[in-house]
């Protein structure tokens, strides 16, 4: 295993960590090793790493993978990254915002360059932008075989939550529509420099070949959003007030009844599949 040198690099390059970018660098070799193991990387894998920081995990992955593409938004870290990763010839560093780059183009370019036949995404995500980044990968990017993210513990719990549980919501449905999420392990604050105020969790998303339901995606997710928009409202009221499907309350009640659901049911009890059934019925004239 590559030895962690986070403190050494921070001091050498006189780095000032930026709170607004959510910078907390992993400083625990055992955690790095467990994350890389969870990602199931081998010599045929291209790794796309989001937010490599100073490259502590990048080095560990590059020692195993066909190649690593590290996308780092903070220009002040690029010199430290280049220095810290200089011994490797299979790492590409891109100084850009992952929300603005053409991810598929990057994947295609470096899969060919590094002769890789599968792609994994690994990231220690800034907590303030966790959900947009994850949803961008799930909704917009094809050709990814699996993803491993370190996120705030509460976010991970929402992603894996099941119907009827307090944490179950629109994020749970969206993540489980595209993937099979699995919590791997928790990471306490003392494993980072500086220490965050919250606990972190490593979560693995195995991408599904096909969603568990066939639906009009745009309408499906509008329905899901409306169903959880005001959690105290019944599904009937939430959907009627959203005005998405041009259905009256009585029509919605009739549809729910045909599904074996009570008119007072709330969205938090519907599974991904049930939302699919409801969406398809609501779309029908």
**What domains are there in the chain, each with its CATH number?**
6-207 (3.40.50.150), 217-283 (1.10.8.100)
Chain segment 150-170, per-residue pLDDT in tens: 999 999 999 999 999 999 999
- Is 51 annotated in a binding site? The answer is yes
Of 279, 271, 228, 231, which is closest to residue 252 (Cα–Cα)?
279
In the predicted model, what is the mean pLDDT of residues 175-204? 93
Residue with tokens 């074996």: 260
Task: Among 12-16, 37-41, 161-165, name the one with the lowest average pLDDT.
Answer: 12-16
For residue 112, pLDDT over 50 is answered with yes
Question: 140: burial class by Cβ within 10 Å (0-12, 13-18, 19+)?
Answer: exposed
CB 215 within 8 A of CB 279: yes
DSSP, collapsed to helix, strand or coil, labels residue 56 as helix
Mean pLDDT of the chain: 90
- Is 24 annotated in a binding site? The answer is yes
Q: In what order do the strands lie in the sheet with 91-95?
A: 91-95, 67-72, 45-50, 118-124, 146-152, 200-207, 179-187
For residue 3, pLDDT over 60 is answered with no
Of residues 40 and 247, more confidently modeled: 40
Task: Give the pLDDT of residue 2.
Answer: 52
Give the torsion through C-alpha atoms of 158, 161, 163, 169, to 10 deg. 10
- Is 48 annotated in a binding site? The answer is no
In the predicted model, what is the mean pLDDT of residues 56-80? 94
pLDDT band at 244 (very low <50, low <70, confident <90, very high): confident
Task: Give the pLDDT of residue 193.
Answer: 80
- Is 237 annotated in a binding site? The answer is no
Question: 260: burial class by Cβ within 10 Å (0-12, 13-18, 19+)?
Answer: exposed
**How open is the CA angle 48-106-178, to the nearest 5 degrees?**
60
pLDDT band at 127 (very low <50, low <70, confident <90, very high): confident
Task: Give the pLDDT of residue 175.
Answer: 98
In the predicted model, what is the mean pLDDT of residues 140-159? 95
- Is 246 annotated in a binding site? The answer is no
Task: Give the pLDDT of residue 5.
Answer: 63
- Is 26 annotated in a binding site? The answer is yes
Task: Give the pLDDT of residue 21.
Answer: 47
Task: Give the pLDDT of residue 94.
Answer: 97
Task: Among 2-11, 71-80, 130-139, 221-230, name the one with the lowest average pLDDT.
Answer: 2-11
Chain segment 250-272, per-residue pLDDT in tens: 999 999 999 999 989 999 999 99
């Amino acid at each position: 295993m590559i030895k962690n040198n986070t403190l050494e690099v921070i001091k050498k390059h006189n780095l000032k960590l930026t709170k607004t970018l959510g910078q907390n660098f992993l400083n625990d070799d055992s955690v790095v090793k467990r994350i890389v193991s969870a990602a199931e990387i081998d010599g045929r894998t291209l790794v796309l790493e989001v937010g490599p920081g100073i490259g502590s995990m990048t080095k560990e992955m590059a020692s195993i993978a066909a190649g690593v593409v590290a996308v780092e938004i903070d220009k002040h870290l690029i010199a430290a990254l280049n220095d810290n990763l200089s011994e490797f010839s299979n790492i590409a560093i891109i100084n850009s915002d992952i929300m603005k780059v053409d991810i598929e183009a990057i994947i295609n370019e470096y899969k060919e360059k590094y002769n890789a036949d599968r792609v994994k995404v690994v990231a220690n995500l800034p907590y303030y932008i966790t959900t947009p980044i994850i949803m961008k990968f799930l909704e917009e990017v094809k050709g990814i075989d699996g993803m491993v993210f370190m996120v705030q513990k509460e976010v991970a719990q929402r992603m894996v939550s099941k119907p009827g549980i307090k944490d179950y919501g629109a994020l749970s449905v969206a993540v489980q529509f595209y993937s099979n999420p699995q919590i791997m392990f928790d990471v306490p604050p003392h494993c980072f420099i500086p220490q965050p105020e919250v606990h972190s969790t490593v979560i693995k998303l195995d991408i599904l070949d096909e969603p568990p339901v066939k639906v009009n995606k745009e309408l499906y997710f509008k329905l899901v959003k409306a169903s959880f928009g005001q959690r105290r409202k019944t599904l009937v009221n939430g959907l009627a007030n959203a005005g998405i499907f041009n259905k009256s309350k009585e029509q919605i009640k009739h549809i729910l009844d045909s599904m074996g659901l009570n008119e007072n049911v709330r969205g938090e009890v519907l599974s991904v599949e049930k939302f699919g059934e409801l969406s398809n019925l609501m779309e029908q004239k």
